[in-house]
Structure 1
Amino acid sequence: MKIINKMRNRILILSLLFFVTQILYSQDMKITYDMKYKEDSLSKETTTRKMLLLIHEGQSKFYTEKQYEVDSLRATGFKGFAVGDSDFYVIRNKKDITSKYYFKLRDVYKVTVSQALNWRIENQVEKKFGFACQKATLYHKGRHWEAWFTQEIPLLEGPYIFKGLPGLIVYMKDSTGSYEFSFAGLKKNFYPMDFENISPQPLEVSEDNLKKISLDYYNDPFREMKSGNVKAKVRDQKGNEIEPDFREMTKNVQSYLKKNNNPIELSDAIKYP
């Protein structure tokens, strides 16, 4: 009889958790993270960005707060010029394990990937950001991760592509200290917008094709300018228009790409020549 009662209680708790989760997913939610990371793995210098996780109609979207502000402005009908920040741009579906990555090179590219995350939930518990949290670990694409999730916010979500734990991930870092995500706030509702209303329209490519496109960009980043298809003025420090030195400009871009080649999915880092 005790075993039956325990089973009933467990089923009741799981049913309640499912019900609460469904209610939360039916609402628009905006979760803020502070992301600290190293663009160059060999440097001690770090960059910090304010990131947002938006939840809307069974989808979640992770990107910079700056890009969100630009998208919100455009959604109101604004037709002027506004500079966004399209790095770390991912859209995920709640019902499956599909992630859509967006990359900006010469054009905007979209890569759709299905991937399962093999979490290991540990026994360790701690208080973080005012929530009772439990530790989980993960190895994914070349990085070992430590995550802390709270069942006090029963969303199976987290920063970037990281989701699937029985509660919201409020803190996460990799073992090399290259990436760290820290919970910074949660609000219900945000300015309604189509998650995939991205300008310019992304070109859908495969992972292999994206690598080829990235290498092509590395080898000749100013191809469009040199061909005359893109009109752009090059100016010196005083603002005077000068004849572009494409060889020197290419060297600078290639040096930057080689140096700042420390992506979250480390095994997907482009092997530049």
Structure 2
Amino acid sequence: MNWKILFRTVSVVMILFFNVSQGQNYKVFYDMVYKTDSSDSETQKKAMVLLIKDNQSKFFSQEQLINDSVIIEKQKTNGKALKKYDYNFMTIKDNQEKKLHKFNAILRDLYKITESMPVFNWIITGETKTINTFTCQKATLNYANRSWEAWFTTDIALHEGPYVFNGLPGLIISLKDSKNNYEFSFSGLKKNEVLNVDYLSTKPFEVTAKQFNKALLDHYNDPYREMKAGNIKVRWQDEDGKEFKPDYKELTKTEQKNIKKHNNPIELTEAIHYPTK
């Protein structure tokens, strides 16, 4: 057997398969289970989707994807649709420019932070198991003060994963941190979808991480500022439907307590140091 010819043939097939995969559009669906309060056993569940098109990918909620699709269709006929603001955990990875765009919302304001794409120092082990009919291999990672366990499959030739994570030789099927605060589980995949990775239903404020942290602290210090100023209209009603004027001082104390309690981001290095009093 001519091993040189065989090696070249295999190499060409692998390259062609990779190029075909890269040339297709994908929707990868994940179930996300997480704790907003690390000291509480209560978890929340969110249906997420990863859009992959050429050298870009976008990770965000399925609810926001559906809402964006409705808005896009309405705009074709000059119609209007109710906007949702389910932007937390949303990221856009630009693998060509090596840029990572993170999005977060405070009330109805969307903030965009652009960073260099992180380099993940994955440790790939020899451990394997089957998940959702896929043969998967285990990898571990220490990133942003969390220890992660990932299971990826080379059955799907996409070097992608949920949130900011990528860089393994296959699609990440399962990902969780060692303290069970965050877990992502693959739930489905669709090929050749018509995708618009760049679409945002509202224009974001482009800020640095430092500026966004200040915005979070400003919101903490006066969480009802926009309502008190009349920029956000709210009708306060009691159980009988009678309108009343709220005690913003007491509401602020309650909301500040709630903000402090739910300060458990995926990247622990991004946790905000709120005032102790």
**Pairwise mapping of residues 216-235 of structure 1 onto structure 2 (< 5 A)?**
216-235=218-237
Taking the aligned partners of 2:141 and 2:13, their CA distance within structure 1 comes to 27
- Residue 50 of structure 2 is aligned to residue 53 of structure 1: yes
TM-score by length of 2: 0.90
Aligned partner (choices 184, 190, 193) of residue 190 of structure 1: 193
Give the structure 1 partner of residue 178 of structure 2: 175
Aligned partner (choices 247, 253, 256) of residue 258 of structure 2: 256
- Residue 73 of structure 2 is aligned to residue 71 of structure 1: no
In the TM superposition, residue 29 of structure 1 has moved relative to its aligned partner by: 0.6
Taking the aligned partners of 1:132 and 1:7, their CA distance within structure 2 comes to 29
SS in 1 for 2:163: coil
Q: Given residue 224 of structure 1, which amino acid in structure 2 is its aligned partner?
A: E
Taking the aligned partners of 2:221 and 2:242, their CA distance within structure 1 comes to 28
Give the structure 2 partner of residue 136 of structure 1: 139
Give the structure 1 partner of residue 242 of structure 2: 240
Taking the aligned partners of 1:240 and 1:148, their CA distance within structure 2 comes to 54
Structure 2 alignment gaps of length 5 or more? none
Give the structure 2 partner of residue 83 of structure 1: 84
Q: Given residue 262 of structure 2, which amino acid in structure 1 is its aligned partner?
A: N
Give the structure 1 partner of residue 96 of structure 2: 95
In the TM superposition, residue 5 of structure 1 has moved relative to its aligned partner by: 4.1
Give the structure 1 partner of residue 36 of structure 2: 39
**Counterpart contact for 2:157–2:171, Cα < 8 Å:** yes
Taking the aligned partners of 1:156 and 1:113, their CA distance within structure 2 comes to 20
Structure 1 range deviating more: 20-29 or 254-263: 20-29
Give the structure 2 partner of residue 108 of structure 1: 110
TM-score by length of 1: 0.91
Structure 1 range deviating more: 62-71 or 95-104: 95-104
Change in Cα spacing, 1:16 to 1:123, as seen in structure 2 (3 Å) is same
Q: Given residue 96 of structure 2, which amino acid in structure 1 is its aligned partner?
A: K
Q: Given residue 62 of structure 1, which amino acid in structure 2 is its aligned partner?
A: F
1:136-156 Cα shifts (integer Å, max 9, x gaps)? 111100100000110010100
Q: Which contiguous aligned blocks of 4+ residues in structure 1 show a shift greater than 6 angstroms?
A: none
**Counterpart contact for 1:149–1:167, Cα < 8 Å:** yes
Q: CA RMSD of the aligned region, Å?
A: 2.1
In the TM superposition, residue 251 of structure 1 has moved relative to its aligned partner by: 1.6
Q: Given residue 149 of structure 2, which amino acid in structure 1 is its aligned partner?
A: E
Aligned partner (choices 19, 22, 28) of residue 22 of structure 1: 19
Change in Cα spacing, 1:259 to 1:152, as seen in structure 2 (3 Å) is same
Taking the aligned partners of 1:211 and 1:247, their CA distance within structure 2 comes to 23
Taking the aligned partners of 1:250 and 1:6, their CA distance within structure 2 comes to 72
**Counterpart contact for 1:62–1:89, Cα < 8 Å:** yes
SS in 1 for 2:84: coil
In the TM superposition, residue 255 of structure 1 has moved relative to its aligned partner by: 1.5
1:153-183 Cα shifts (integer Å, max 9, x gaps)? 0100011111010100001110000011111
Change in Cα spacing, 1:7 to 1:34, as seen in structure 2 (3 Å) is farther
**Pairwise mapping of residues 205-220 of structure 1 onto structure 2 (< 5 A)?**
205-220=207-222
Give the total of aligned pairs: 269
In the TM superposition, residue 203 of structure 1 has moved relative to its aligned partner by: 0.5
Structure 1 alignment gaps of length 5 or more? none
- Residue 270 of structure 2 is aligned to residue 268 of structure 1: yes
1:182-229 Cα shifts (integer Å, max 9, x gaps)? 110101133543x33323210100011111111111101112222334
Taking the aligned partners of 1:260 and 1:184, their CA distance within structure 2 comes to 27
**Counterpart contact for 1:38–1:45, Cα < 8 Å:** yes
SS in 1 for 2:57: strand
Kindly, what percent of the aligned residue pairs are identical? 42
**Counterpart contact for 1:99–1:112, Cα < 8 Å:** yes
Aligned partner (choices 203, 206, 212) of residue 204 of structure 1: 206
